């Protein structure tokens, strides 16, 4: 559920980039931050270790403008991908309105992808979200690797049906804005006031 | 009783401003557990309140996990002591937090007292807001909102022609 504040006239949606370690979550955010003009974006926070691995989260706010008198914002977050940061991931998922699962297209990372996807489903259920009724996009990142996973392999492993899928090379920015578009539209289409 | 919108914003701002004035703090912010800044008072020009709200919400959530590990449900107050500036964070009800940034550490007792003294009123106003949220947001037409928002997304999250990644780099 978004942060809808009739008093302050703002609606804030939270998008979380989830996925195994080093799959390109931070790279997605860095590209989006670079691509957007200044008037739409706030400062980007990157909380990482000296090995460029996300320690807690990355974050930046996007302000799209005013809709019906309300300031419309998206807050973009990443999670730390390493398996042992379970508590951090759960914390960051709380209050999420949509998730991009950033998968690594290298065939040898298929298990990492599926394991992390199952953890995400578990985390979502823990915080009362039904993943089957939730804006979720599967991004096959690193499409420039060779060999690479075929589109559909991860879904088959996980018995996923009808999940929106995008392809990307986040280091070059390809497919990144498309993914953001898909997830944000999924969120808006489901928007209701409760 | 349901407070009118303008009045209740004023109430929250008034309460935060009063705290800043009485305790000589630099800034006071009210944020949600999800990391969204709801209201702020004092010297708000020099601080990035959006980033501060996101970080403090994450920090507070992490502290809740720490509390669970040591057998507490949660810690209701967090204090960060710096060289020149310090931060007092307190839980406001179950879903919000108040951040007070201050300089003179000798005033910590006063900060704590003032924060505690307005927390009850903040909880009351926030509860009322929650109850009247649906009614107060009656000025939003959901179908139109969706249409305009989708338009903005198309316009701002621009997908270039070179974006297609399905063919890799070959």
What residues of A are in contact with residue B49 (Cβ under 8 Å)?
none
A174 and B164 within 8 Å at the Cβ level: the answer is yes
Q: How many CB atoms lie within 10 A of CB B113?
A: 13
B127: domain range?
5-156
Query: Average of pLDDT values for A56-62?
Result: 88
A67 and B152 within 8 Å at the Cβ level: the answer is yes
pLDDT score at B135: 83
In order, the DSSP letters of A136-183 are: EEEEEE-TTSSS-PPTTHHHHHHT--S--EEE-BGGGTBTHHHHHHHH
Q: How many CB atoms lie within 10 A of CB B104?
A: 14
As to burial, measured by CB atoms within 10 angstroms (0-12 exposed, 13-18 middle, 19+ buried), residue B95 is: middle
Return the residue in A2, A3, A6 with the most chain B beta carbons within 10 A, the one to mutate for interface testing: A6
Return d(Cα B112, Cα B108) in angstroms, integer.
Answer: 6
Domain count of chain B?
1
A36 and B156 within 8 Å at the Cβ level: the answer is yes
Q: Is B162 among the domain residues?
A: no
Return d(Cα A79, Cα A88) in angstroms, integer.
Answer: 7
Q: Model confidence over B107-157: pLDDT tens digits?
A: 999 999 999 999 999 999 999 888 888 788 888 899 999 999 999 999 999
Residue pair A163/A170 in contact by the 8 Å Cβ criterion: no
Q: Is B127 among the domain residues?
A: yes
Which of B149, B160, B162 has the CB atom closest to A72's CB atom?
A: B149
Residue with tokens 């005033």: B107
Backbone angles phi, psi at B115, to 5 degrees: -60, -45
Query: Average of pLDDT values for A99-108?
Result: 98
A146 and B168 within 8 Å at the Cβ level: the answer is yes
- CATH class of residue range A3-189: alpha beta
What residues of B are in contact with residue A176 (Cβ under 8 Å)?
163
Q: Is B170 among the domain residues?
A: no
Per DSSP, A41 falls in state B
pLDDT score at B1: 37
Could you tell me the pLDDT band of residue A77, with boundaries at 50, 70 and 90?
Answer: very high
CATH number of the domain that residue B112 is part of: 3.30.450.30
Q: Model confidence over A1-33: pLDDT tens digits?
A: 788 888 888 999 999 999 999 999 999 999 999
ipTM: 0.92
Which of A61, A88, A174 has the CB atom closest to B163's CB atom?
A: A174
What residues of A are in contact with residue B141 (Cβ under 8 Å)?
68
Full-model pTM: 0.89
Q: Which residue of B has its CA nearest to A34?
A: B157
What residues of A are in contact with residue B156 (Cβ under 8 Å)?
36, 40, 62, 64-65
E strand or H helix that includes residue B19? helix B5-23
Per residue in A131-162, is it b (16+ CB within 10 Å) or e — as a string? beebbbbbbbbbbbbeebbeeebbeeeeebee
Return d(Cα B29, Cα A87) in angstroms, integer.
Answer: 26
Residue pair A56/A145 in contact by the 8 Å Cβ criterion: no
Tokens of A194: 């409760």
Q: Is B115 among the domain residues?
A: yes
pLDDT score at A52: 59
What count of residues does chain B have?
170
Q: Is B169 among the domain residues?
A: no
Q: Is B26 among the domain residues?
A: yes
Which of B32, B140, B165 has the CB atom closest to A169's CB atom?
A: B165
Q: Is B48 among the domain residues?
A: yes
Query: Average of pLDDT values for A70-97?
Result: 85
Q: Model confidence over A165-193: pLDDT tens digits?
A: 999 999 999 999 999 999 999 999 999 98
What residues of A are in contact with residue B46 (Cβ under 8 Å)?
none
Q: Is B166 among the domain residues?
A: no
User: Averaged in consecutive runs of 10 residues, what is the pLDDT profile of chain B (170 residues)?
Assistant: 49 95 96 92 89 88 87 92 96 94 95 96 92 84 95 91 62
What residues of B are in contact with residue A189 (Cβ under 8 Å)?
146, 150
């Amino acid at each position: 559920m978004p942060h809808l504040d009739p008093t302050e006239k703002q609606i804030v949606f939270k998008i979380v980039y989830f996925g195994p370690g080093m799959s390109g979550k931070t790279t997605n955010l860095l590209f989006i931050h670079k691509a957007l003009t200044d008037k739409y974006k706030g400062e980007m926070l990157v909380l990482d270790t000296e090995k460029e691995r996300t320690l807690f989260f990355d974050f930046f706010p996007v302000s799209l403008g005013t809709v019906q008198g309300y300031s419309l914002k998206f807050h973009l977050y990443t999670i730390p991908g390493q398996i042992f940061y379970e508590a951090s991931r759960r914390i960051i998922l709380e209050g999420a309105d949509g998730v991009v699962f950033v998968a690594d297209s290298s065939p040898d990372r298929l298990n990492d992808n599926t394991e992390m996807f199952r953890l995400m489903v578990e985390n979502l259920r823990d915080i009362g979200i039904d993943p089957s009724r939730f804006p979720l996009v599967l991004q096959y990142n690193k499409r420039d690797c060779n060999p690479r996973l075929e589109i559909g392999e991860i879904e088959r492993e996980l018995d996923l049906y009808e999940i929106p899928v995008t392809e990307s090379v986040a280091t070059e920015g390809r497919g990144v804005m498309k993914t953001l578009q898909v997830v944000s539209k999924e969120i808006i289409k489901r928007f209701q006031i409760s | 009783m349901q407070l009118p919108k303008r009045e209740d914003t004023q109430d929250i701002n008034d309460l935060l401003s009063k705290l800043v004035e009485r305790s000589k703090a630099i800034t006071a912010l009210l944020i949600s557990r999800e990391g969204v800044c709801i209201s702020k008072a004092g010297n708000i020009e020099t601080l990035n309140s959006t980033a501060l709200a996101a970080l403090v919400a994450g920090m507070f959530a992490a502290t809740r996990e720490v509390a669970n590990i040591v057998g507490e449900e949660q810690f209701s107050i967090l204090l960060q002591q710096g060289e020149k500036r310090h931060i007092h964070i307190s839980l406001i009800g179950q879903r919000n937090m108040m951040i007070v940034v201050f300089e003179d550490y000798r005033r910590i007792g006063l900060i704590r007292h003032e924060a505690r003294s307005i927390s009850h009123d903040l909880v009351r106003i926030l509860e009322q807001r929650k109850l009247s949220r649906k009614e107060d947001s009656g000025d939003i037409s959901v179908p139109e909102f969706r249409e305009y928002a989708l338009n903005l997304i198309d316009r701002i999250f621009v997908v270039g022609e070179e974006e297609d990644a399905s063919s890799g780099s070959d």
